[in-house]
Amino acid sequence: MTTTRPRTFDIHAHILEKYTVAALNAATPEAQVSLVDTGPEYSDLTVRGVTYRKFPRGGWDVARRLSDMDRMGYDRQLLAATPQTFLHDIAPEAGRIAAQVQNDAIIARCKAMPDRFMGLATLPMQSPEMAAAELARAMDLGMSGAMIGSHTNGVNLDDPELEPLWAEAEKRGAFMMIHPVKVAGIERQKSYYLQNFIGNPLDTTIAAACLVFGGVLERFPTLKIILSHGGGFTPYQAARWIHGWAERDEAKVRLKGEPGPSIDKLIYDAILHDGAPLQFLIDWAGSKRVLLGSDYPFDMGQYDLIEVIDGLRLTDAARRDVLAVAAEALVPGA
């Protein structure tokens, strides 16, 4: 193992500064966002009447974020909006305005600290045409792609109306990160925080399957799709998908070739909370398709990833891939 600390790039991080909250509410009354301190370390984040308690200080306090990054050993972060403020369920024009406000705030933060931060846009996914236009605008202003939900109000990512977005993303080489939202099966996951333990990886898996079996990655072969939280259950069940496609006509309705080549295009963050599953993921997908990501600042994030990666069976080159090199090759502008 090399004795020189390689550079690091955290590609999964969320931010919602207090001035962004004020700007959101001023720009569109449909946003209905508040961030109220409940002590020195936490705030209550309320969006359209739903409160997320114990939103960590680092989510809005950039000085705390920088201190945490230094302590965890993260040189740079790829900033994205919080999933609570994706606001896919408001009117399209209001969604466009809300996306632009958040994107402009992240762009300003990245320009102020370009050595520490890069940005991903949030998009008004309730209008695919507006989403494609906002992706173009945000990337023209320096963003590297977008973080989008695993579905939009129940509409999966293989919906034909999303084709203009995928075309724009492929044309620009956008880094498109899929983050779970409003997870499936919530009626059976209301206890024990299962909506996050199981629901989040489940919804990421559904999104990945729709992108594969919907033929999206077949039609847009250079599209960059990054799956949150280690890809959910996708890596563990990929062989089942390949077997199923060969056996079932339903799987061939939109995917004309077998699913292996599409699955092989998927990229993953490294948030698996233990070395053994992360070792499997890197062995299975390769070090150029597994990227350091913390999910900062949320409590389900992973903040010991460098230590975990140091304990894996990796060559120096593979370790550098996971820590930064692979992401730098995928993120426009990195």
96 within domain boundaries: yes
- Residue ranges of the chain whose pLDDT lies below 50: 1-2
Helical (H) or strand (E) element with 128: helix 128-140
4 within domain boundaries: no
pLDDT tens, 4-48? 789 999 999 999 999 999 999 999 999 999 999 999 999 999 999
**CB neighbour list of residue 11: distance below 8 Å, 6 or more residues apart:** 77, 78, 175, 177, 226, 269, 291, 292, 293, 327, 331
304 within domain boundaries: no
User: What is the model's pTM?
Assistant: 0.96
- Could you tell me the end-to-end alpha-carbon distance of the chain, in angstroms, rounded to an integer? 25
Number of domains in the chain: 1
Q: State the pLDDT at residue 317.
A: 98
pLDDT tens, 159-210? 999 999 999 999 999 999 999 999 999 999 999 999 999 999 999 999 999 9
Domain span holding position 48:
16-122
Q: State the pLDDT at residue 327.
A: 98
109 within domain boundaries: yes
Q: State the pLDDT at residue 200.
A: 96
3-state secondary structure of 185: coil
66 within domain boundaries: yes
104 within domain boundaries: yes
Q: What is the mean pLDDT of the chain?
A: 96
Q: State the pLDDT at residue 4.
A: 74
Amino acid identity of residue 147, one-letter, is M
27 within domain boundaries: yes
Helical (H) or strand (E) element with 96: helix 92-112
323 within domain boundaries: no
